[in-house]
Chain A
Amino acid sequence: MASENVKALTDADFGESVKKGVVLVDFWATWCAPCRRIAPIVDQLADEYSGRATVAKVDIDANPMTPSKFMVRGIPTLLLFKDGELKETVVGLANKDDLAKMIDKHL
């Protein structure tokens, strides 16, 4: 089950949504097998960091502008924003501990 704490972002509200605080964004698509592997980790992070950091997703099929703007040319890609500024880029698979450490660094 997808976590309710993961916010689905769109091209329309992306800029506004990453403006404040620490926001981890998972770029994904339904047809991307590795994305399905990282999804449960993203869900767990969303639950564990609820209230401290925002965890969000962008479906790249429905929202092509945002990945293009950030030059995302492979998925899964995770971008971490702090107060609107891009701080970290993780391409491909990653384990939960490393991602948690990365979020902690910016909190």
Chain B
Amino acid sequence: MSERPVIIIGSGPAGLTAALYAARANLTPLVIEGIEAGGQLMLTTMVENWPGYRDGIMGPDLMTELRAQAARFGAEIIQGDVSSVDLSKRPFTVTMGQTQYLAQTVIVATGASAKWLDLGVDKKLSGRGVSTCATCDGFFFKGRPVAVIGGGDTAMEEAIYLSKLATSVTVVHRRDSLRASKVMQDKAMSMPNVSFIWNTEVVDIKDLDKGVVTSLVLKNTQTGVSSELAVDGVFIGIGHVPNTALFKGQLALHDNGYLKTHEGSRTSVAGVFAAGDVQDHIYRQAVTAAGSGCMAAIDAERFLSGTLHQAAAAHV
């Protein structure tokens, strides 16, 4: 079993930028893409805040470019999902099904995945009217009424996208104002068939017996009054949870589940670095993920050449 200088777990902007920098430093990184290869940008449409594209770029196109750019400098990118890691001793072991890889350093860039409602019923009706991806599933709701749950940028993007397909889009938000950026808010509010229900939570999704979504049961958080909203589809945009299941008990986590990093991209285990949304519960942008991926690659490179400590000491 050959030993790699760097294994990168994840292939969003953080993982692929780390791969680009590690490859250019001749560290022949191995990137294990993961089941959600390309990360969250693969599920978006136009990305208008990635610097350098004045007219925006489609999320999947950006990821295709980034992947090709990393590969051009020698990053080896493989499909598959890491099943377990052993970070207790170096070299670290990364297991993918029947295959084991050894690595002197690991960069964790596993990102975050869409959060569900915690109702149970939402997962059971997934693919039957409940979705976390408007660009994937909006097609099925042409000429039908839908709801979007949430008040952030994700929810607004879903509402805007769906407004072009659905007869009506009702945004259900548990607060009285949106967390989304002003640009996204204005865009969503300007759509004639997008309406908002404030201070309201989803308490149930019907109809499990029929096996498809027919309506939402809502509850006003101020008055406690319940109501029902007839929709054929419901899109959940309430945020993300970091993908840290592989590292529980091995790397230190914050109470909210995100990986703890310090002095750049270092985790609680020497030689293991983290980048992107898996360790960032504040900014969570494609460009900050890419930036932290660059940091992780540089930190890994310095660690490998034994200069990490000197470099850190020089900054004190």
Contact = CB atoms under 8 A, between A and B. Distances in A.
A28 B37 CA distance: 17
Interface residues of B, number: 27
Given A93-B35, A95-B35, A75 B137 contact: yes
B79 interface: yes
Contact of B127 (A32, A92, A95, A97): A92
B183 to A, nearest CB: 23
A32 B136 contact: yes
A50 to B, nearest CB: 20
Given A32-B136, A33-B38, A95 B126 contact: no
Contacts of B197: none
Interface residues of A, number: 25
A91 interface: yes
Interface string B105-129: 0000000000000000000001111
Interface in B220-265: 233
B51 interface: no
A37 B126 contact: no
B60 A73 contact: no
Contacts of A102: none
Nearest to A91: B127
A73 B127 CA distance: 5
A29 B291 CA distance: 33
B60 A71 contact: no
Nearest to A67: B140
Interface string B35-48: 11110001100000
A89 interface: yes
Given A34-B42, A91-B127, A73 B140 contact: yes
Contacts of A97: 97
Contact of B36 (A71, A89, A93): A93
Interface string B194-218: 0000000000000000011100000
A29 B38 contact: no
Interface string A24-60: 0000010111110100110000000000000000001
Interface of B: 35-38, 42-43, 60, 79-81, 97, 126-129, 131, 133, 135-137, 139-141, 211-213, 233
